[in-house]
Homo-oligomer: A and B are copies of this chain.
Amino acid sequence: MPTVTFLPSNVKINVDPGETVLRAAMFAGVHINASCGGQGVCGKCRVHVDEGRVEGGRGKFINDDDFTAGFRLACSSQVVGDLVVAIPIESQMDKRVQEATGRRVGAAKLATQLDLATLKAEGKFEPPFEKLFLQLDKPTLDDNVSDLDRLIRALKHTGYDRLSVDYHLLDLLPNAVRDQDFNVTVTVARSRTKQDKVNLFNVEAGDTRNIHLAVCIDIGTTTVSAELLDLNTGDVLAHEAEYNNQVSYGEDVISRIMYSQKSGGLDKLQEKVIGNINSLMDKLLESSGKKRKDISHLSIAANTTMVQLLLGINPQFLRMEPYTPAMTYVPPVRASHLGINVSPQVAAYVSPCRASYVGGDVLVGVMGSGFYREEPITLYIDLGTNGEIVIGNKDFMVCAAASAGPAFEGGGVKYGMRATAGAIEDFSIDPVTFEKMILTIDQGKPKGVCGSGLINIVAALLEDGLIDHSGKFNREAGCPWIREGEDGGEFLLVPAEDADVDRDIVLTEIDVDNLMRAKGAMFAAYMTLLESIGLSITDIKRVIIAGNFGNYINIDKAILIGLLPELKTERFHFIGNGSLLGAKLISYSNQLRTEMMGITQKMTNFELSVHPGFMDYYVAALFFPHTDPKIFPRVYDLLDRTWSEVREARLQKVAS
């Protein structure tokens, strides 16, 4: 990993080869003026390469002389080896502020995390669906048993002697066995326990073992994500995500449940999410060039409400005390019967749930994180519209949920969007010149703000004293971007002329307030849960953060706004979309399906909504970072210091 050293601050960071210098600077907490999101059109991010070499970085703003002299555009310069880069004076923020932040992307890889490599190493890469090639005896008048009996006879020779047969297989059978001269490939679903029968559910002519696909899907309240897997290798062949089509019927699970009670509402919501799944599968197949018929199964993880809506089960009682889901274990479901566009015999495994508001998305995420096998007490946080918390270790687990709203996923925010190309994902601002550094995903022309971008923007504005503790813009700072808009106070992020939308991209005070309520709900949830079991923040040895955008969050910034507790950076780990990870692991390993049931049974659920302390914690957390400085001493200390320095620097600037 090449090291990039930024001068004059001498901040170092290790980045992957191919990373841009601008992104490296952002990760390192080094501000470089850049207003176009990194697409190379504003020309502001000019730097000088003092040592080492970069690829590219020329653009129209660097002439031949400048290029020879070592000047480059940071946004289009790719790191290829160790590098020393000097930030020009116009990009340098006040030096005192610069030193004070010194933030890092942090978050080491989680050692316990289960992934394809660990499953293979542990001998657990054994997908629940298996393809077997069989050469059947050809029928004669003396041996004219049925096609199915012939197939079962051959399967028994391979050791499968307790079989159940899916009747959808029968349609395929006569032609499948004869098309390739009685050479067939069958697909069997392994049973979860030895007692249970193995299900024989597909038959194809010839040897088709080389193509064996699965689709894993995470149905989030706001975002639906899917991956196409090669079950022979475990490779992810394609990844797609889109907003949940149900969003227009309510932003959170409660409003969806309410909509489901209207006439035709439940059917409509079911139809919408099935539409998501079909659309995502189309995209996965298109981008991978694979065929629908080769999909052997689906693995779906979702929160309890999303599961009930997917299956068309009345979710009304999830939100009524005592909050009982229809089921925790979901038997295998025939996907085509739900309207999913796959062969009729394809089964969907839907993750089990723990409680009304602690769903399969969390359970499979906990499984994927692997912490449930180890000693250290761990806080698992799934940041989403429905936020969930698990605390525990190999001996115990407790869980709870909090409705955070869609802000973490870019929902309910004026210019919010999913974390796709053009979304502002990182941001910093010179506290004195107010020059902005804006980084978009894939360096696309700015279109909006994704969830992690929202956290980073609010954190940066808070740190630089442009937002106060209560989430209001500091209208006395002299910042030209703070103004009154149609929805009240707003901060101009990108003017229309630089944006990919035809209006100014702004952050409103309402957006900031939505984020405050989201982080407040999450914080209150884990504080209440910790208190319920007699633990405190300091007992937490490890924090695992899951969520659709998890990998983009800057930990220091998340602590700064009070979303994450004030622990050392190295205790934090990201696993990204834990739900999608878990759904994938279920596709990889039949054994994990069994372990999964164990996790479910071990977990104790707390209903925070009826917990007397929760509302107090929530109200106390509606502040940046929190109303109680004792809980965030380092942040209070930092803000006190930087705010006074910034004030002074601004006064000096005005004076000069």
Residues of A within 8 A of B (CB): 139-141, 143-150, 162, 164-167, 170-171, 173-175, 178, 195-197, 311-317, 321-334, 337, 353, 355-356, 605, 607, 610
Contact = CB atoms under 8 A, between A and B. Distances in A.
A510 to B, nearest CB: 35
A271 to B, nearest CB: 15
A292 B327 CA distance: 27
B148 A332 contact: no
8 closest A-B pairs (Cβ-Cβ)? A148-B327, A144-B322, A146-B325, A141-B322, A146-B328, A174-B314, A146-B327, A139-B324
A313 B147 CA distance: 12
Given A139-B322, A170-B311, A311-B170, A164 B331 contact: yes
A170 B317 CA distance: 13
Contacts of A162: 195
A167 B333 contact: yes
Contacts of A150: 324
A1 B58 CA distance: 113
A317 B148 CA distance: 13
A398 to B, nearest CB: 15
A158 to B, nearest CB: 19
A310 to B, nearest CB: 11
A280 B226 CA distance: 45
B324 A173 contact: no
Given A175-B314, A331-B164, A325 B170 contact: no
A433 to B, nearest CB: 56
Contacts of A315: 174
Contact of A332 (B167, B321, B355): B167
Contacts of A323: 141, 144
A653 to B, nearest CB: 59
B175 A331 contact: no
Contacts of A167: 311, 330-334
9 contacts: A139-B322, A146-B325, A146-B353, A147-B324, A148-B326, A149-B329, A171-B314, A173-B313, A174-B326
Nearest to A144: B322
A327 B145 CA distance: 8
A161 to B, nearest CB: 12
Chain B CB within 10 A, most for which of A325, A328, A332, A607? A325
A158 B529 CA distance: 37
A537 B330 CA distance: 59
A139 B334 CA distance: 30
